[in-house]
A and B are shown apart, each in its own frame.
Chain A
Amino acid sequence: MNLWKQLTTVNSTPYFFLAVAASTVVFLAVMALLHRTSPRVKKWLTIVLTFAAGLFYFLEYMLPVHTLKGGHEGNFLTPYVEPVSNYVNFILIWTLFLGIISLTIVHGRRLLRRVAGWHNSLAFFLALIAMLTFGFTTRSGGLGSPKEHVALQITYDSLFTGLLMNLDSAMFALLAFYIASAAYRAFRVRTVEAALLMISALIIMLGVVSFGVKLTGWIPAEGTGWAYLRIENAALWILKWLNMPGQRAVGIGVAIGALAMAMRLWLSLERGTFFSKES
Chain B
Amino acid sequence: MGSLFDRLQSLDRQWIYLLLSIVLIAALIVGKMEKPVVQLPARQLFDAVEASPSGPDGDKIILVGTTFSFNTIGESGNQARAILRHLMLTKKRFAVMSVEPVGAEIGKIITTKLAKEYGLEYGKDWIYFGYQLGTLAFFKSFPQDIPGTVQVDGIEKKPITDFEIMKRVKTIKDVDMHIEITASASVFDWLQVVQPTTKPRLKIGYACTGVMAAEAYPYLDSKQMVGMLPGLKGAADYEQLVEEREKDFPEVKAGASLGSIPRIGLYRTARHLMFAQGAAHVLIIIFIILGNVGYFLARRRPRSKEAMDE
Contacts and interface: CB of A to CB of B under 8 A. Distances in A.
Judge A-B direct contact (beta carbons within 8 Å): yes
B115 interface: no
B233 interface: yes
Interface in B140-155: 140-141, 144-145
B137 A72 contact: no
A176 interface: yes
B292 A189 contact: yes
Contact of B292 (A73, A81, A188, A243): A188
A136 to B, nearest CB: 16
B199 to A, nearest CB: 10
Interface string A195-210: 0001000100110111
B interface majority secondary structure:
helix
A211 B283 CA distance: 11
A82 interface: yes
Contact of A247 (B36, B137, B214): B214
Contact of B278 (A73, A86, A211, A236): A211
Interface string A164-207: 01101101110011011101110111000000001000100110
Contact of B36 (A166, A187, A210): A210
Nearest to A84: B137
B287 interface: yes
B275 A210 contact: yes
B102 interface: yes
A129 interface: no
A184 B288 contact: yes
A180 B265 CA distance: 24
Contact of B70 (A86, A168, A176): A168
Given A89-B135, A210-B36, A232-B39, A169 B70 contact: yes
Interface string A75-114: 0001001110110010000000000000000000000000
A81 B233 contact: no
B297 interface: no
Highest count of chain A CB atoms <10 Å: which of B136, B215, B288: B288
A176 B283 CA distance: 12
A210 B233 CA distance: 10
Highest count of chain B CB atoms <10 Å: which of A85, A86, A208, A236: A208
Contacts of A169: 70-71, 73, 265
A interface majority secondary structure:
helix
A236 B16 contact: no
Contacts of B70: 161, 165-166, 168-169
Interface string B213-226: 01101101100000
B195 to A, nearest CB: 15
Given A187-B292, A205-B284, A209-B277, A247 B13 contact: no
Given A176-B20, A179-B284, A209 B217 contact: no
B37 interface: yes
A202 B284 CA distance: 9
A183 B291 contact: yes
A126 interface: no
A247 B277 CA distance: 25
B261 interface: no
A209 B281 contact: yes
A184 B282 contact: no
B249 interface: no
Interface residues on A, range: 35 or more
A248 interface: yes
A74 to B, nearest CB: 8
Given A165-B70, A205-B285, A180 B16 contact: yes
B218 A168 contact: no
B34 A247 contact: no
B13 A183 contact: no
A70 B136 CA distance: 20
Interface string B121-145: 0000000000000011100110011
Interface in B37-55: 37, 39-40
Interface in B65-91: 69-73
A7 interface: no
Nearest to A175: B211
B290 interface: yes
Contacts of A202: 285, 288
Interface of A: 70, 72-73, 78, 81-83, 85-86, 89, 161, 165-166, 168-169, 171-173, 176-177, 179-181, 183-185, 187-189, 198, 202, 205-206, 208-213, 232, 236, 239-240, 243-245, 247-248, 251
Given A168-B71, A183-B291, A248-B221, 9 more contacts: A72-B145, A81-B137, A165-B69, A173-B71, A177-B20, A179-B284, A180-B16, A210-B36, A210-B274
Interface of B: 11, 13, 16-17, 20, 34, 36-37, 39-40, 69-73, 102, 135-137, 140-141, 144-145, 214-215, 217-218, 220-221, 233, 265, 274-275, 277-285, 287-288, 290-292, 295
CB-CB nearest 8 A-B residue pairs:
A209-B278, A85-B137, A184-B287, A82-B137, A244-B217, A248-B218, A165-B70, A169-B71
16 contacts: A81-B136, A165-B69, A168-B70, A176-B280, A180-B284, A187-B292, A198-B288, A198-B292, A202-B288, A205-B285, A239-B214, A240-B40, A244-B217, A244-B220, A245-B218, A251-B218
